[in-house]
Amino acid sequence: MNVIPEKAAAVATAAAGSSVHFPSLAVALVIMLAGSLYPLLMTDAGGHADHRLALVLFLAMSAGFVRGVGFVPQALVWRWMFSGWACLAALAAAIGIRFLW
């Protein structure tokens, strides 16, 4: 098997830094369960689907699952988009949309 030593070292370093991130995973699981058990969470006062709220909740859930299981993408854009901080920012946006608008 031909493996470039530098690339193998980079992959090993990335794998060593990857571990389960329980706060992100917990947020993702709570959003998944709450959205499944109580879908009215994602509606507005008139009972219509609130697409902005659903968008940021699903973004938080996606980022939470990706980072929560320990996967850290190599590309900078994807790494930021699926980070714990992106999960927190999307969750804060969802709280803002739900309670402030």
Q: What is the pLDDT of residue 69?
A: 96
Cβ contact 71:64 at 8 Å:
no
Residue 17 has a pLDDT of 62
The whole-angstrom separation of Cα 11 and Cα 97 is 39
Query: Judging by beta carbons within 10 Å of its beta carbon (0-12, 13-18, 19+), is residue 19 exposed, middle or buried?
Result: exposed
In this prediction, residue 12 carries a pLDDT of: 54
Of the given ranges (9-13, 32-36, 96-100), which has the lowest mean pLDDT? 9-13
* Cβ 29 vs Cβ 61: under 8 Å: no
